[in-house]
Amino acid sequence: MRRRRGVLAFTSSVVVTAAVVLALSEYGRRPVDGKSPVGEGPAPAAPAAGGISFFSDEWMRQEGIPVYRGWSVDLETVALAPWPRLGARGAYVRLHGQEGLVNTYVLEIAPGGRTLPEHHIFDEYLFVLQGHGRTRLWQDGKAPTEIEWGPNTLLSPPLNAWHEHINLGDEPARLVGMTNAPPIVDFYRDLPFVFENPARFDDRWDGRAAFFAKVPQPHGPGEPVASPKNPLHVNLIPNVLDLDRVMFRWQAKRGWFACFSMCGNTLNPHVSAWEPASYQAPHRHGPGATVLIVQGEGFALMWPSKAGPRPWQDGHADSVVRTEIKRGMIYSPPDDWYHTHFNVGHTNAVYVAVTTKGRELQVQAFPHPGHNPAVEHVEDGIGADHPHLIGRAAEDPMLQRLFREALEARGSHATPRPFVEP
């Protein structure tokens, strides 16, 4: 092993072959070597390992902070440890559904503290779970730019730009990072190349402060808002709970959606909100989509598409994973798994999600969500644009039963209502 400027590196030749591509397709197929701090209901086993070892797994272990694996993790309560590389406290999270395409981390900065500067050649989003502070960004030879953040801010340091985070408050600040570091680290297997690369991506950010003044605003008169086919180009979202003017409202009128293209990334975020006593129509897509709950109470269900649209009715109830919905909970449906999110609270439920399917920029190696010819599509008046959805008439009756029971336990007798989710 060798160490350069605080980054642990492993001697290894860089040979990108078909075997590496095969390894990428096997992400997530390994046994659980740790437990999620939170989990409820049946817990099907994670996909089998297949004897594949990943460089990114070893990198995260050598960072000296906990690495949690599971179906879901509560990021507000997860235990952290000192993180020498960043001079703060943290933990990594590897969810089964991320399948090695995305990873998550929690970063905690002491009152008045700051992280050590870093830069890297992978996309990164930071969501502020708690605290107020400032992020300082710069390119070599150029003046730094500072942006302030608070609870519910979503920001993304531009690719390979220097950045450090400063806590301006009197309490610890807790941030959630979501990145596509694993495939980048696994392709090159040379950490100095990833973390000490001098390349400047001026087409992403040329160092101007005005870059971060581009915050969510409605499109021009007569133009649609931030729909899936017309994402907003922004570089900072000061508060994801303050997006009423730009969110696209689904035809069912019970859900909202806003898609963004940020900082030229191929990893892209969207924000979804849905009313009390409503749930998203069960749907499926490719791997890597990572869901972070910002607001709301309830539960989510996930099950493999091979169990069919009615897993309870067809005798596959043991394949269903249930996880809690609350602020700070994070989960990730595996590749081609149906999943649905239920809001049993008294306010709109809101989540931020990042996906490997860019709304405009695509990476061909990543599976396209919702397209598996081996799986029968079930529709109920949804329309040809959504072949990956289960319509209301085709749902398993157990979905409505579980939702009604959860609502009644909270004193509500509202009728559960689905809405369309892309």
What average pLDDT does the segment 60-78 reach?
96
Place of tokens 């030229």: 264
According to CATH, the superfamily of the domain at 213-419 is Jelly Rolls (2.60.120.10)
pLDDT greater than 70 at residue 361 = no
Handedness of CA 390, 394, 398, 400 (dihedral sign): positive
Per-residue model confidence (pLDDT) at position 354: 93
What average pLDDT does the segment 329-340 reach?
95
Per-residue model confidence (pLDDT) at position 96: 93
> Strand 349-355 relative to strand 268-274: parallel, antiparallel, unpaired?
antiparallel
Question: In terms of Cα–Cα distance, which of 268, 264, 232, 265 is closest to 248?
Answer: 232
CATH for 2-199+206-212 (3.30.200.20, 3.30.930.10, 1.10.3210.10, 2.60.120.10) = 2.60.120.10
Per-residue model confidence (pLDDT) at position 202: 92
Per-residue model confidence (pLDDT) at position 411: 87
Whole-number average pLDDT of the chain: 81
**Sequence spans of domains, the chain:** 2-199+206-212, 213-419
What average pLDDT does the segment 304-327 reach?
95
Per-residue model confidence (pLDDT) at position 392: 80
Per-residue model confidence (pLDDT) at position 41: 34
Question: Which of 138-142, 195-199, 256-260 has the lowest average pLDDT?
Answer: 256-260
What average pLDDT does the segment 335-356 reach?
93
User: What does the alpha-carbon distance between residue 92 and residue 105 come to, in Å, rounded to a whole number?
Assistant: 4
Q: Token pair of 118, please?
A: 């870093």
Cβ density class 230-242: b for 16+ within 10 Å, e for less: ebbebbbbbbbee
Question: In terms of Cα–Cα distance, which of 153, 119, 154 is closest to 136?
Answer: 119
Q: Token pair of 415, please?
A: 């009728």
pLDDT greater than 80 at residue 253 = no
Entry pTM: 0.83
Q: What pLDDT, in 10s, does the model give residues 392-415?
A: 888 999 999 999 999 999 888 888
- For a pLDDT cut of 90, what percent of the chain falls above it? 59
Per-residue model confidence (pLDDT) at position 359: 55
Q: Are residues 404 and 411 in contact, defined by beta-carbon separation less than 8 angstroms?
A: no
Lay out the sheet containing 321-325: strands in order across: 321-325, 298-304, 337-343, 278-280, 417-419
Per-residue model confidence (pLDDT) at position 32: 29
Q: Are residues 56 and 102 in contact, defined by beta-carbon separation less than 8 angstroms?
A: no
Domains 2-199+206-212 and 213-419 share a fold: yes
CB under 8 Å to 405, separation ≥6 — which residues? none
Per-residue model confidence (pLDDT) at position 71: 96
Per-residue model confidence (pLDDT) at position 109: 98
Task: Give the 3-state secondary structure of residue 365.
Answer: coil
pLDDT greater than 90 at residue 382 = no
What average pLDDT does the segment 55-84 reach?
96
> Strand 124-130 relative to strand 154-155: parallel, antiparallel, unpaired?
antiparallel
Residue with more model confidence, 347 or 7: 347
pLDDT greater than 90 at residue 164 = yes
Q: How many CB atoms lie within 10 A of CB 203?
A: 9
Place of tokens 């949804």: 382
